[in-house]
Amino acid sequence: MKKTIAVFDIDGTIIDFFSERIFLLFLLSKGKFFINDLFNYAVNFLQTTNRGFIFATKGNKAYFKSKNSKEIEKLAHICFRKHILKRIFPRAKEKIEQHQKKHHEIVFLSGTLPFLLNEYKKYFGVNKGYSARLEIKNGRFTGKTLGIYPYGEGKAEIIKKFFDKDRYDLSRSFAYGNHLSDIKSLKLFGNAFIINPNKKLAAIARAESIKIEYF
Protein backbone atom coordinates (compact mmCIF):
# COMPACT_ATOMS: atom_id res chain seq x y z
CA MET A 1 0.00 0.00 0.00
CA LYS A 2 1.24 3.46 -0.86
CA LYS A 3 2.10 5.78 2.01
CA THR A 4 0.08 8.79 3.05
CA ILE A 5 2.12 11.79 4.15
CA ALA A 6 1.33 15.04 5.93
CA VAL A 7 3.70 17.84 4.94
CA PHE A 8 4.02 20.89 7.18
CA ASP A 9 5.67 24.20 6.54
CA ILE A 10 7.11 25.65 9.77
CA ASP A 11 7.23 29.44 9.92
CA GLY A 12 3.72 30.87 10.09
CA THR A 13 2.23 27.37 9.97
CA ILE A 14 3.59 25.65 13.06
CA ILE A 15 4.78 28.79 14.84
CA ASP A 16 3.57 32.40 14.79
CA PHE A 17 6.84 33.94 13.58
CA PHE A 18 10.10 33.13 11.76
CA SER A 19 12.38 30.61 13.48
CA GLU A 20 15.51 31.92 11.82
CA ARG A 21 14.87 35.51 12.90
CA ILE A 22 14.27 34.41 16.47
CA PHE A 23 17.58 32.55 16.42
CA LEU A 24 19.53 35.43 14.89
CA LEU A 25 18.21 37.79 17.56
CA PHE A 26 19.21 35.21 20.16
CA LEU A 27 22.75 35.04 18.71
CA LEU A 28 22.92 38.83 18.76
CA SER A 29 21.95 38.87 22.44
CA LYS A 30 24.71 36.33 23.17
CA GLY A 31 27.38 38.31 21.30
CA LYS A 32 27.61 35.66 18.57
CA PHE A 33 26.47 37.79 15.64
CA PHE A 34 28.68 40.54 14.22
CA ILE A 35 29.01 43.14 11.44
CA ASN A 36 31.35 40.88 9.49
CA ASP A 37 28.58 38.25 9.41
CA LEU A 38 26.40 40.75 7.52
CA PHE A 39 29.34 41.44 5.23
CA ASN A 40 29.58 37.71 4.46
CA TYR A 41 25.87 37.76 3.63
CA ALA A 42 26.33 40.69 1.24
CA VAL A 43 29.28 39.06 -0.53
CA ASN A 44 27.40 35.80 -0.93
CA PHE A 45 24.38 37.67 -2.30
CA LEU A 46 26.52 39.09 -5.10
CA GLN A 47 28.04 35.69 -5.81
CA THR A 48 24.75 33.78 -6.01
CA THR A 49 22.40 36.14 -7.86
CA ASN A 50 22.82 33.91 -10.92
CA ARG A 51 20.88 31.22 -9.00
CA GLY A 52 17.89 33.52 -8.60
CA PHE A 53 16.78 36.22 -6.19
CA ILE A 54 15.18 33.83 -3.70
CA PHE A 55 18.32 31.72 -3.37
CA ALA A 56 20.52 34.82 -3.07
CA THR A 57 18.33 36.29 -0.31
CA LYS A 58 16.26 33.77 1.64
CA GLY A 59 18.62 30.91 0.79
CA ASN A 60 21.62 33.00 1.79
CA LYS A 61 22.95 31.72 5.14
CA ALA A 62 26.47 33.10 4.72
CA TYR A 63 26.30 34.92 8.05
CA PHE A 64 27.25 31.56 9.58
CA LYS A 65 30.51 31.44 7.63
CA SER A 66 33.45 30.22 9.78
CA LYS A 67 31.25 29.62 12.82
CA ASN A 68 31.72 26.36 14.74
CA SER A 69 28.86 24.08 13.72
CA LYS A 70 28.66 22.23 17.06
CA GLU A 71 28.51 25.47 19.03
CA ILE A 72 25.74 26.80 16.79
CA GLU A 73 23.80 23.55 17.18
CA LYS A 74 24.01 23.82 20.98
CA LEU A 75 22.85 27.43 20.89
CA ALA A 76 20.00 26.45 18.57
CA HIS A 77 18.85 23.86 21.11
CA ILE A 78 18.84 26.47 23.90
CA CYS A 79 17.03 29.01 21.72
CA PHE A 80 14.41 26.48 20.67
CA ARG A 81 13.64 25.53 24.26
CA LYS A 82 13.65 29.08 25.61
CA HIS A 83 12.16 31.15 22.82
CA ILE A 84 10.67 29.08 19.97
CA LEU A 85 8.81 26.32 21.76
CA LYS A 86 6.35 28.73 23.40
CA ARG A 87 5.43 30.16 19.99
CA ILE A 88 4.15 26.88 18.55
CA PHE A 89 0.45 27.06 17.71
CA PRO A 90 -1.45 24.61 19.99
CA ARG A 91 -3.69 23.79 17.03
CA ALA A 92 -0.65 22.93 14.88
CA LYS A 93 0.64 20.57 17.56
CA GLU A 94 -2.78 18.98 17.78
CA LYS A 95 -2.97 18.58 14.00
CA ILE A 96 0.45 16.89 13.82
CA GLU A 97 -0.53 14.50 16.60
CA GLN A 98 -3.77 13.65 14.80
CA HIS A 99 -1.84 12.64 11.70
CA GLN A 100 0.60 10.61 13.77
CA LYS A 101 -2.27 8.68 15.34
CA LYS A 102 -3.47 7.83 11.84
CA HIS A 103 0.06 6.59 11.02
CA HIS A 104 0.60 9.22 8.36
CA GLU A 105 4.24 9.98 7.69
CA ILE A 106 4.96 13.52 8.91
CA VAL A 107 7.32 15.64 6.80
CA PHE A 108 8.60 19.10 7.68
CA LEU A 109 9.39 21.22 4.61
CA SER A 110 10.85 24.64 5.32
CA GLY A 111 13.55 27.08 4.26
CA THR A 112 14.64 27.41 7.88
CA LEU A 113 18.06 26.45 9.25
CA PRO A 114 18.89 22.73 9.46
CA PHE A 115 19.75 22.76 13.16
CA LEU A 116 16.42 24.44 13.92
CA LEU A 117 14.61 21.87 11.76
CA ASN A 118 16.28 19.14 13.81
CA GLU A 119 14.88 20.67 17.00
CA TYR A 120 11.35 20.57 15.56
CA LYS A 121 11.84 16.97 14.47
CA LYS A 122 13.04 15.90 17.90
CA TYR A 123 10.25 17.73 19.69
CA PHE A 124 7.48 16.24 17.54
CA GLY A 125 9.11 12.83 17.06
CA VAL A 126 9.37 13.27 13.30
CA ASN A 127 11.98 11.48 11.20
CA LYS A 128 11.76 13.24 7.86
CA GLY A 129 12.33 16.88 7.03
CA TYR A 130 13.88 19.16 4.43
CA SER A 131 15.39 22.57 5.13
CA ALA A 132 18.26 24.72 3.89
CA ARG A 133 21.47 22.65 3.72
CA LEU A 134 24.59 24.37 5.00
CA GLU A 135 28.02 23.14 3.94
CA ILE A 136 30.40 22.23 6.78
CA LYS A 137 34.15 21.69 6.46
CA ASN A 138 36.48 20.94 9.35
CA GLY A 139 33.68 21.57 11.82
CA ARG A 140 32.85 25.05 10.53
CA PHE A 141 30.24 26.44 8.17
CA THR A 142 31.65 27.55 4.83
CA GLY A 143 28.82 30.00 4.14
CA LYS A 144 27.50 27.96 1.21
CA THR A 145 23.95 26.66 0.89
CA LEU A 146 23.73 23.34 -0.94
CA GLY A 147 21.13 21.66 -3.10
CA ILE A 148 17.51 22.64 -3.60
CA TYR A 149 16.39 25.47 -1.37
CA PRO A 150 12.91 24.62 0.05
CA TYR A 151 11.01 27.75 -0.84
CA GLY A 152 8.41 28.35 -3.53
CA GLU A 153 9.09 26.14 -6.54
CA GLY A 154 11.91 24.50 -4.57
CA LYS A 155 9.34 22.89 -2.28
CA ALA A 156 7.45 21.44 -5.23
CA GLU A 157 10.74 20.20 -6.68
CA ILE A 158 11.62 18.40 -3.44
CA ILE A 159 8.20 16.75 -3.26
CA LYS A 160 8.49 15.50 -6.83
CA LYS A 161 12.05 14.28 -6.28
CA PHE A 162 11.68 12.44 -2.97
CA PHE A 163 8.03 11.31 -2.93
CA ASP A 164 7.53 9.31 -6.10
CA LYS A 165 4.14 7.99 -7.16
CA ASP A 166 5.24 4.36 -6.78
CA ARG A 167 5.55 4.67 -2.99
CA TYR A 168 3.41 7.66 -2.02
CA ASP A 169 -0.20 8.53 -2.76
CA LEU A 170 -0.24 12.32 -2.89
CA SER A 171 -3.92 12.31 -3.82
CA ARG A 172 -4.70 11.01 -0.31
CA SER A 173 -1.92 12.98 1.40
CA PHE A 174 -2.00 16.31 3.23
CA ALA A 175 -0.02 19.54 3.04
CA TYR A 176 -0.09 22.70 5.14
CA GLY A 177 1.41 26.09 4.27
CA ASN A 178 0.76 29.74 5.01
CA HIS A 179 2.19 31.76 2.15
CA LEU A 180 1.49 32.52 -1.50
CA SER A 181 4.83 30.86 -2.31
CA ASP A 182 3.44 27.57 -0.93
CA ILE A 183 0.59 27.36 -3.46
CA LYS A 184 2.54 25.47 -6.11
CA SER A 185 3.62 22.70 -3.72
CA LEU A 186 0.22 22.54 -2.00
CA LYS A 187 -1.49 21.86 -5.33
CA LEU A 188 0.42 18.57 -5.58
CA PHE A 189 -1.71 17.16 -2.75
CA GLY A 190 -5.28 15.91 -2.58
CA ASN A 191 -5.75 17.59 0.81
CA ALA A 192 -4.12 21.02 0.84
CA PHE A 193 -4.54 23.73 3.46
CA ILE A 194 -3.56 27.38 3.73
CA ILE A 195 -3.12 28.39 7.36
CA ASN A 196 -4.15 31.79 8.77
CA PRO A 197 -4.43 33.58 5.41
CA ASN A 198 -5.20 37.26 4.95
CA LYS A 199 -8.16 38.16 2.71
CA LYS A 200 -6.10 38.26 -0.47
CA LEU A 201 -4.45 34.88 0.14
CA ALA A 202 -7.76 33.36 1.21
CA ALA A 203 -9.31 34.41 -2.10
CA ILE A 204 -6.41 32.86 -4.03
CA ALA A 205 -6.70 29.65 -2.00
CA ARG A 206 -10.41 29.36 -2.77
CA ALA A 207 -9.73 29.95 -6.46
CA GLU A 208 -7.18 27.13 -6.38
CA SER A 209 -9.54 24.81 -4.41
CA ILE A 210 -7.22 24.87 -1.39
CA LYS A 211 -8.88 24.61 1.99
CA ILE A 212 -8.40 27.20 4.72
CA GLU A 213 -7.70 26.63 8.40
CA TYR A 214 -6.91 28.94 11.29
CA PHE A 215 -4.41 27.86 13.95
135-162 pLDDT, tens digit per residue, is 999 999 999 999 999 999 999 999 999 9
Kindly report, residue by residue over 170-187, the tens digit of the pLDDT.
Answer: 999 999 999 999 999 999
Give which of 13, 20, 195, 185 is closest to 115, Cα–Cα: 20
Residue 120 confidence (pLDDT): 98
Read off the pLDDT band of 115 (50, 70, 90): very high
Which sequence spans correspond to the domains of the chain? Answer: 5-213
Residue 92 CA, chain-centre distance (Å), reads 15
Question: Could you tell me how many helices (H) and strands (E) the chain has, helices first?
Answer: 9, 8
Read off the pLDDT band of 104 (50, 70, 90): very high
Question: Model-level pTM?
Answer: 0.95
Residue 175 CA, chain-centre distance (Å), reads 13
For 106-133, what is the mean pLDDT? 97
For domain 5-213, the CATH superfamily is HAD superfamily/HAD-like (3.40.50.1000)
196: phi then psi, degrees, rounded to nearest 5:
50, 50
Share of the chain above pLDDT 90, in %: 93
Sign of the torsion angle spanned by Cα atoms 111, 7, 148, 117? positive
For 110-118, what is the mean pLDDT? 97
**Within 13 A of 124's CA, how many CA atoms are on the CB side?**
31
Element (H, E) at 186: helix 183-186
For 121-131, what is the mean pLDDT? 97
Read off the pLDDT band of 113 (50, 70, 90): very high
Residue 143 confidence (pLDDT): 95
> Whole-angstrom Cα distance, residue 158 to residue 109?
9
